[in-house]
Copies of this chain bind each other. A is one copy, B any other.
Amino acid sequence: MAMSGNMLIVQSGGPTAVINQSLAGAVLEARKQPAIRAIYGAAHGLKGVLEERFIDLRRETKATLEAVAATPAAALGSARKKPTPEECVRVFDILKRHAIRYFFYIGGNDSAESAHLIAENAGRAGYPVACWHIPKTIDNDLRENDHTPGFGSAARFVALALMGDTLDCRALPGVKIDVIMGRHAGFLTAASALARTRPDDGPHLIYLPERPFSLARFAADVEAVVARHGFCVAAVSEGIVDEAGESIAARFTTEVDGHGNAQLSGTGALGDLLARELKARTAITRVRADTFGYLQRSFPAVVSPADAREARRVGIEAVRLAVKKGGSGTVVIRRKPGRAYGVVYQPRPLAAVAKETRRMPDAFIAESGCEVTPACLAYLRPLVGPLPRLGRLKGVPVKQETLA
């Protein structure tokens, strides 16, 4: 029989377009569970837990929760905070004092690690708390998951942006560098490849954190594309590293978060460096760089239908698993085999997704190192959803003799 008690839910790490789907899914499911009494949400992740800043999620109407579900960014507020050992003890005391038996942590690998630390504490202290992690990250780098909620919508934004950007650069030719999020994993940058509908469409070059990046090689690659197509669109991950494995973007920052991650986003420095180097190393004059930044994860009205659906379901599943099994864990998304796209949701231990992240598999990266494989495209397509069809003129040239 399920433990009876209160529930606390938090959102953590970088917001996404669908993280509120998981919140709404968990809260609406919790309301159906007789074992769950009060339903609290903490403001700004672990920070709000430590400050005991809770809101009453039973006081929200279903209509509000549905509207919030369709709204990007973390409705409860988020934080990038790793608890110290002392804070883990304090969190546990707070959970106990408020009769919280169900604790849900929506976030990525760092959040899973925090949840793991808290769960271990609860285990040692003999006060059972069901402590479940609900996956979320646009980086798509959680281990054990086929893909993660938030990724599909961010990937959709990237694919749409590259569709437009390729057309823009084709219209006013030159070189366009697009810097895309993804600290260690190239999935989001790889999604740029979905923008192509014709052989000469961009992105013509895709640089991923999984392969070493060299400025000399980059300049040569771009020159070759320009020679061939007359313009070049390059998709570059913010996480690209040099031959020594050092982050190139991190050269420009001294800022690190609570988990020791350097700030890579929210600056155009990497794109500007690449543009500058390209102008210095080649004869190309028109070079532009855009850094997509936070728009990738928070732009309203660009949501992948599968992503929204799955983000909702992991919230629901986490509550069901917590009530049914207690203990701790995470919900992972596995893809069903077969041609038609489908997924299953499975419980896994927190340790299986905490701390370390995963990267793009080698099978998704072409031998050149600056291209993705057909297997990668097949993997990505259902996650992003159908993209708009673009029109293109047939462009029958007028013969000069007709003109003369």
Q: Which residues of A are interface residues toward B (Cβ below 8 A)?
A: 11, 14-15, 17, 20, 38, 40-41, 44, 52-57, 59-61, 64-80, 97-98, 160-161, 163-165, 167-168, 170-173, 176, 255, 265-269, 271-272, 275, 285, 287-295, 297-302, 388-398, 400, 403-404
Query: Nearest Cβ distance between residue A315 and chain B, in whole angstroms?
Result: 15
- A168 near B297: Cβ-Cβ < 8 Å: yes
Contact of A269 among B67, B163, B272 (CB under 8 A): B272
Q: List 19 A-B contacts (CB under 8 A).
A: A15-B167, A54-B403, A55-B397, A55-B398, A64-B394, A67-B389, A71-B167, A71-B390, A73-B167, A163-B300, A164-B295, A266-B275, A266-B289, A268-B268, A268-B272, A268-B289, A272-B272, A288-B294, A292-B295
| Given A40-B398, A55-B396, A66-B391; A15-B168 close (CB under 8 Å) | yes
- B295 near A161: Cβ-Cβ < 8 Å: yes
Query: Nearest Cβ distance between residue A264 and chain B, in whole angstroms?
Result: 11
User: Chain B: which residue is nearest A63 at the CB level?
Assistant: B391
Bound Cα distance A287, B390 (Å): 37
- Which B residues lie within 8 Å of A287 (CB)? 266
Bound Cα distance A165, B70 (Å): 15
Bound Cα distance A55, B293 (Å): 38
User: Chain B: which residue is nearest A94 at the CB level?
Assistant: B403
| 17 more CB-based (< 8 A) A-B contacts, given A54-B403, A266-B290 | A14-B172, A15-B168, A55-B396, A60-B394, A67-B389, A67-B392, A68-B392, A70-B391, A71-B391, A72-B167, A73-B168, A77-B171, A78-B172, A97-B404, A160-B300, A268-B269, A269-B272
Bound Cα distance A391, B64 (Å): 6
- Which B residues lie within 8 Å of A20 (CB)? 391
User: Chain B: which residue is nearest A54 at the CB level?
Assistant: B398
Contact of A267 among B75, B80, B268, B396 (CB under 8 A): B268
- A290 near B288: Cβ-Cβ < 8 Å: no
- Which B residues lie within 8 Å of A52 (CB)? 400, 403
Query: Nearest Cβ distance between residue A80 and chain B, in whole angstroms?
Result: 7
| Given A171-B77, A267-B289; A394-B59 close (CB under 8 Å) | yes
Query: Nearest Cβ distance between residue A15 and chain B, in whole angstroms?
Result: 5
Query: Nearest Cβ distance between residue A261 and chain B, in whole angstroms?
Result: 13
- B171 near A391: Cβ-Cβ < 8 Å: no
User: Chain B: which residue is nearest A293 at the CB level?
Assistant: B290
Query: Nearest Cβ distance between residue A238 and chain B, in whole angstroms?
Result: 12
7 residue pairs, one from A and one from B, having the closest CB atoms: A268-B268, A67-B391, A266-B288, A73-B167, A290-B293, A164-B298, A68-B391
Query: Nearest Cβ distance between residue A165 and chain B, in whole angstroms?
Result: 6
User: Chain B: which residue is nearest A19 at the CB level?
Assistant: B171
Bound Cα distance A285, B170 (Å): 40
Contact of A171 among B78, B164, B165 (CB under 8 A): B78
Query: Nearest Cβ distance between residue A9 and chain B, in whole angstroms?
Result: 12
| Given A266-B275, A391-B68; A398-B56 close (CB under 8 Å) | yes
- Which B residues lie within 8 Å of A168 (CB)? 15, 72-73, 294, 297-298
User: Chain B: which residue is nearest A177 at the CB level?
Assistant: B266
Query: Nearest Cβ distance between residue A262 and chain B, in whole angstroms?
Result: 14
Most chain B CB within a 10 A radius of its CB, from A15, A38, A268, A396: A268
| Given A77-B170, A160-B301, A396-B59; A290-B291 close (CB under 8 Å) | yes
- Which B residues lie within 8 Å of A160 (CB)? 299-301
Bound Cα distance A295, B20 (Å): 25
Query: Nearest Cβ distance between residue A175 and chain B, in whole angstroms?
Result: 10
- Which B residues lie within 8 Å of A17 (CB)? 164
Query: Nearest Cβ distance between residue A395 and chain B, in whole angstroms?
Result: 5
